[in-house]
Amino acid sequence: MLNERRNLLTAEQFAEVILNHLTSSQGKDPEHASIYDWRMALSLALRDQVIRPWFASTRTTYEAEAKRVYYLSMEFLVGRLIEDVATNLRAEDVAAAAMRSLGQDYGQVVRDEPDAALGNGGLGRLAACFMDSLATLGIPAYGYGIRYEHGLFEQHFKDGQQIETAENWLTQRYAWEFERPEVRYEIGFGGTVEKSGQTSKWIPAETIIASAYDTPVVGWNGLWANTLRLWAAKPVKVFDLDSFNRGEYLAASELEALARTISRVLYPDDTSEAGKELRLKQEYFFTAASIKDILRRLDSEGRVVRDLPQRVAIQLNDTHPAIAGPELVRLLVDERKLEMENAIDIARGCLGYTNHTLLPEALERWPEPIFKRVLPRHLEIVREIESAHLKASGSPVRILEDGDVKMGELSFIMAHKVNGVSALHSDLVRETVFEQLNRDYPDRILNQTNGITPRRWLHNCNPDLRILINDTIGTGWPADLEQLEKLVPHAQDAGFLEAFKAVKAKNKVRVANWLKSHHYIAVDPDAMFDAQIKRIHEYKRQLMNLLETVALWNEIRDNPNADWVPRVKIFGGKAAPGYVVAKQIIHLINDVAAVINADPQVKGLLKIVYPENYNVSMAELLIPATNLSEQISTAGNEASGTGNMKFALNGAPTIGTLDGANVEIRERVGAENFFLFGLTAAEVVERRKQQNYSAAAIAVSQRLSRALEQIENGVFSPGDPDRYQGLVQDLRQKDYFLVTCDFDDYFAAQRRVDSAYADQDSWTRMAVLNTARVGWFSSDRTIADYAKDIWNAHSLIGGARQPKGEVP
């Protein structure tokens, strides 16, 4: 029955659908169609195929009276969708053949799609992986977020420095979405609260419209489709004719411009707080619209609000949607006339909160005056929530403290479950930020280690490895990734190792060609590709990687005839525009690259490449071609990491610290297949208590001293020798992230990597075992566990954890 949901078209039939869209939707004939027209036609043809499972899923959910999951996230870092949709529909061959028959280059059309970059990094990409897994598992779900007009900024380098320009994905039509002009809610801000007796009524000063855009998200095998509903801000009154008639043309459109500001841009901060009123408005805007939408659906199904916890699971992706708690309580109390405590309990029954970071600067706090100005009634409700909590638990922990509204505490208190994103991180959540609250509510915190979707991050991005794996263990693994374990015995098989190595080599050639044609850099595909691609942040320690590169450069020049293992160090990543140190690190990477890459003495042995504008699509290209994955954050700082999982899955062993999910990756792949170094999280805490720890570490390391001196003396910035004095001074005097303390151990681990890589057979075996043993990190497993432990939601496509087996 379920398979009937998919429309199985032949290539010929599909070509006809594409042609129809080219003419009817794009208004072009094949002679005049641009690549954009072809891409739109192909995307719309694919979207057509999603409609049947989408409708069927909605109907099934309704009939089963099933609980729905609502994933509220400020960010969805979706990337491109053509391949994703085509493969999930199992129509990739049909789509490619159809395009070929129409004289089009399928791959080129696929690559024409701009990334939907509605996120900064791991948090947003996790949300996108979760959407894929929710649909694959057949769990009824909505993703709710913001339809930003401008996604994450585009990064350019000018004289080695990061320049940001606006991203404009919506200048072209977005093929995947459906505008829903009828789904609109008024969202208020500011104003006053009117009291009469026991009742309160919020009278906002300003109102804007949240208008829905829906993108269907189809799961593997096309058995189920959910909805990603993104809200765009629109004015209540589009145009002021009176102003216009008075000749005030700008004023006539002012209302519209102001309202649209709310969904104009994605804040480009990753793991740091944006203390802006506009950000608070964005958070309230999408959260309030989502909550209203959830209640409207409940009403339309003839349910009462008491049923909410049975019908609705709302997951808060970090604290950004934390206002969901007070908003839901407000609607229940002020509009549905429930008692306050009852309303709080009902809201808590629905809410779960995921914490993604312990960095103090990233724990959102809003100054009370701002909060009150924007959300006066919510501030009162937060007070009620706080006093109910104080009364029930006797806890000393407050939500309102030092003049701030603390969103972490609010989220914790309003959620029935709170989860961290790796085992280590969840332990630290219990022991640090929420230590007291964990004592007050001992069963509330749990762990849900992150995962990644194997469809995008292996099946689609690494087609040659996919084929090799299919040929070796069959095709069940994309929906049941732990089947990769069946590869373990093949790690002893010379033929398999050869084939695995050949896949990696081919992927490296692909990257080398791309670097040459797009970035005008020549790299040797036979060199080891060592990659650190992620946001630029001090705690992620790109600086330590760079210092090691400088030290290696010195060593090679000192001993040019030694047996060096040729390396290409690949960096990729953006810095938040306001994060000065991160931008200096970018500048330094480019400066060091310019000097080292021009040095004839290390030619062929060491090269640094830093392609600009790292994004999801670039990750899909680089990860399959990487030999060594750099996961070198200061222990205790990277909540999980998900890039670490993607690299391991694609056969790149990790050099890394015991941080985030590295710990669990190492446990699974085996310590012998992981290059460990560095202080543990507990040691980091101890080290930070010592005096002058960085000076002490530098004093005992000649290599490090030399590299630091070179940087501060302008060896890499001869035209501006003082450029990096501040950066180096900080390492000498403070070095909060312990770059200097871990440096020697890191350098030594890199040399272990060199020797291991020199034995290509054993290296490939290690790579295979990484791929074979990380199946547990599928986001299908993560989502199945959220469904069981937090949401009490169920798959409607069979009782199994994953839909297994082949599609005929």
Catalytic residue among 549, 642, 764, 771: 642
Catalytic residue among 356, 389, 425, 607: 356
Q: Is 372 a catalytic residue?
A: no
Residue with smaller CB distance to ligand OX2, 507 or 642: 642
Do residues 317 and 277 touch, judged by C-beta distance below 8 A? no
Q: Is residue 533 a contact point for ligand OX2 (CB under 6 A)?
A: no
Q: Is 642 a catalytic residue?
A: yes
Q: Tell me how far, at minimum, the Cβ of 120 lies from ligand OX2, in Å.
A: 7
569 vs 563: CA distance, rounded Å: 18
Q: Tell me how far, at minimum, the Cβ of 372 lies from ligand OX2, in Å.
A: 25
Which of 126, 527, 570, 622 forms a contact with ligand OX2 (CB under 6 A)?
126
Place of tokens 């995008």: 456
CA 96-97-101 angle, to 5 degrees, is 120
Q: Which two tokens stand for residue 145?
A: 């977020």
Catalytic residue among 80, 330, 348, 540: 540
Q: Tell me how far, at minimum, the Cβ of 295 lies from ligand OX2, in Å.
A: 28
Q: Tell me how far, at minimum, the Cβ of 167 lies from ligand OX2, in Å.
A: 19
Which of 57, 357, 740, 778 forms a contact with ligand OX2 (CB under 6 A)?
357
Question: For the stretch 276-295, what's the b/e string if a residue is b when 16 or more beta carbons lie within 10 angstroms of its beta carbon?
Answer: eeebbbbbbbbbbbbbbbbb
Q: Is 540 a catalytic residue?
A: yes
Nearest 10 degrees: Cα torsion 287, 326, 357, 151: 20
In the three-class reduction of DSSP (H, G, I as helix; E, B as strand; rest coil), residue 24 is classed as: helix
Do residues 698 and 678 touch, judged by C-beta distance below 8 A? no
Q: Tell me how far, at minimum, the Cβ of 310 lies from ligand OX2, in Å.
A: 28
Residue type, 113: E
674 vs 95: CA distance, rounded Å: 39
Residue with smaller CB distance to ligand OX2, 639 or 728: 639
Beta bridge partners of 508: none
* Candidate segments 102-110, 122-130, 304-312, 766-774, binder of ligand OX2 by CB under 6 A: 122-130
Site map for ligand OX2, 412-441, x if CB under 6 A? ---------x--------------------
- Binders of ligand OX2 in range 265-294 (CB under 6 A): 270-271
Q: Is residue 123 a contact point for ligand OX2 (CB under 6 A)?
A: yes
Q: Is 534 a catalytic residue?
A: yes
Q: Tally the residues of the chain.
A: 808
Task: Look at phi and psi of residue 247 and say left if phi exceeds 0, alpha if psi is from -120 to 50, else beta.
Answer: left
Q: Tell me how far, at minimum, the Cβ of 271 lies from ligand OX2, in Å.
A: 4
Q: Is residue 795 a contact point for ligand OX2 (CB under 6 A)?
A: no
Closest Cα partner for 488 from 479, 476, 500?
A: 500
Q: Is 52 a catalytic residue?
A: no
Total site size for ligand OX2, rule CB under 6 A: 18
Strands 400-401 and 404-406: antiparallel
Q: Is residue 408 a contact point for ligand OX2 (CB under 6 A)?
A: no
- Cβ count near 56 (within 10 Å): 18
Q: Is residue 219 a contact point for ligand OX2 (CB under 6 A)?
A: no
Beta strands in 138-241 (DSSP E): 141-146, 154-158, 161-165, 178-189, 192-196, 199-203, 206-218, 225-235
Catalytic residue among 68, 229, 541, 646: 646
799 vs 65: CA distance, rounded Å: 16
Q: Which residue is nearest to ligand OX2 (CB)?
A: 122
Do residues 597 and 607 touch, judged by C-beta distance below 8 A? yes
Residue with smaller CB distance to ligand OX2, 356 or 504: 356
Q: Tell me how far, at minimum, the Cβ of 362 lies from ligand OX2, in Å.
A: 5
Q: Is 201 a catalytic residue?
A: no
Q: Is residue 121 a contact point for ligand OX2 (CB under 6 A)?
A: yes
Binding site for ligand OX2 (CB under 6 A): 121-123, 126, 270-271, 318, 356-357, 362, 421, 450, 638-642, 660
Active-site residues: which are they? 356, 534-535, 540, 642, 646
